[in-house]
A and B are shown apart, each in its own frame.
Chain A
Amino acid sequence: GAGVSQSPRYKVAKRGQDVALRCDPISGHVSLFWYQQALGQGPEFLTYFQNEAQLDKSGLPSDRFFAERPEGSVSTLKIQRTQQEDSAVYLCASSLETPFPINEQFFGPGTRLTVL
């Protein structure tokens, strides 16, 4: 079956522009995570959804970052007034998430954002 997909794969933005990154999780997966991966670093957690509910947004670096999943399926990560430090790969992951055992997360290919 289809895996997690993300679009666009690459995005170049001028500093100050707003961007929107899309994630299509695996069908039926309840949980959805966003991660940010800077060059040479491991991914770092941004935010987590269970269905349409955003249960944890503690990793969002500033109020310029906003995520939504209105129908509990597709999710969008929006970055307003982009800055150069926002340049990174943004990874989306989904998991089936029965209570126990904790299920593994399946990752999309990521969106590489470059802010000029």
Chain B
Amino acid sequence: KQEVTQIPAALSVPEGENLVLNCSFTDSAIYNLQWFRQDPGKGLTSLLLIQSSQREQTSGRLNASLDKSSGRSTLYIAASQPGDSATYLCAVRDITGSGNTPLVFGKGTRLSVIA
């Protein structure tokens, strides 16, 4: 059964710092990996989706990498801002014969960026 782990569980940094969030998964047979942002009381906002054949994706100050063979992904946030404060969730989509599978999520990293 796929398991997704995110480290650290919580992180507090001063504004302007670059930071890395880590995600690991136990089964490398995945279609893709997705990073989400969740603000308190809100739904999930997709940040980056990396297909299994890709190594990384970039969007603005965000860069996500994927090493499928080792079961790891990182989300790099450059020049952090207070508005980046949120919970960041990592999720993978497993490969099955049916082709349609749900996302398997980690528990998230709660990020606080202090002004």
- Min Cβ gap B2→A in Å is 11
The residues of A that contact B106 with a CB separation of less than 8 Å are 42
> Considering only CB atoms and an 8 Å cut-off, how many residues of chain A contact the other chain?
30
CB nearest neighbor in A for B102: A45
Whether, in the assembled complex, B60 has its beta carbon less than 8 Å from a beta carbon of chain A, the answer is: no
| B44 contacts A91, C-beta separation under 8 Å | yes
Do residues A109 and B107 form an inter-chain contact, with CB atoms below 8 A? no
Number of A-B residue pairs at CB separation under 8 A: 65
CB distance from A39 to the nearest CB of B (A): 11
B62 at the interface (CB under 8 A from A): no
Q: Any chain B CB within 8 A of the CB of A1? A: no
Give me the interface of B with A, judged by CB distance under 8 Å.
4, 31-32, 34, 36, 41-46, 49, 51, 89, 91, 93, 98-100, 102-108
Supply 15 A–B pairs (Cβ within 8 Å), ascending by A: A31-B100, A35-B103, A41-B107, A42-B4, A42-B107, A42-B108, A43-B89, A45-B103, A50-B100, A55-B100, A93-B103, A97-B100, A104-B32, A108-B43, A110-B43
